[in-house]
Chains A and B, each alone.
Chain A
């Protein structure tokens, strides 16, 4: 039997190797490059909001200063710790998958989902507090007793940025749920764990964006 036939035989036996790749390594590398390209588009998507925030903040310093006092710094701090922890549990899930420990992979993924849920729960508390006080974006802003005008602008950015970030958390939770289902089904091994790896990359990017959102929104002075 020639080498080519042998390779083909082996190829046919691996249900997780797409026919257009010659081996798992090549498939994993291609997947990762694709994921990184996608992450760059995500950075540029949020980048537009960051640039807009920087410009409006430099033009309306006083309004942004006053407005950010309405945010609860301790809740933002708590959520930062929660999200950093979720990144840790996510990377541990990838690590367990890589080292062939299937049960642990599932446990770490479940923990990541729990942290993501806590993050959204805290966000819900924050949002409902803002709604109740009339701290809303643009036209809907109706907070009584303001001394500095233009604070609605800060809340337009606040809700756009944290809202878009929250949507990414939801999408990430769906992706983690999918990885969890496949992991419970026993799809992953030390040889094939690209899906967990890529979901992890996405999750860390969501964390990365929050790392910048937290000081910009909660800590400016």
Chain B
């Protein structure tokens, strides 16, 4: 609560809302163009910008004691660990050699 007790921040909030609307329109427009695998990246980057605006302004993280931000960001960090390890696992199952190859009797070699 470092903000002065009396001043209203309504104007800032309105600007943030307009930015969020604009980003929503941009993300819908970007989805109608084919960027190949870039589409998913663009959508997630825009979503993260929107999420940051909400967290910093609407959830007051930019004024807040740093403890709250640390809690929030460490939560996201663990979500990142969870996601990364899972994706690494499932995406590499085909390329990594099986640890226990099926035991098949070797065919008898022709002389």
Contacts and interface: CB of A to CB of B under 8 A. Distances in A.
Interface residues of A, number: 50
Contacts of A36: 68, 71-72
Interface residues of B, number: 49
Contacts of A207: 54, 58
Contacts, number: 126
B47 A58 contact: no
A201 to B, nearest CB: 6
Nearest to A205: B59
Contact of B20 (A37, A84, A99, A212): A84
B1 interface: yes
A33 B67 contact: yes
Contacts of A80: 24
B75 A40 contact: yes
A40 B71 contact: yes
Contacts of A102: none
Interface in B10-27: 10, 13-14, 16-17, 20-21, 24, 27
Given A40-B72, A88-B13, A220 B67 contact: no
B87 interface: yes
B83 A50 contact: yes
B86 interface: yes
A59 B91 CA distance: 8
Contacts of B3: 98
Interface string B18-38: 001100100110010010000
Interface in A1-49: 25, 28-29, 32-33, 36-37, 39-40, 43-44, 47-48
Contacts of B47: 211-212, 214-215
Contacts of A200: 58-59
Contacts of B78: 44
B21 A43 contact: no
Nearest to B74: A40
A27 B6 CA distance: 20
Contacts of B67: 33
27 contacts: A36-B71, A40-B71, A43-B76, A44-B75, A44-B78, A47-B82, A50-B79, A51-B82, A55-B87, A58-B87, A58-B91, A59-B90, A84-B17, A85-B17, A90-B58, A91-B13, A98-B3, A99-B6, A99-B7, A100-B6, A200-B59, A211-B54, A214-B24, A214-B47, A219-B39, A221-B34, A221-B39
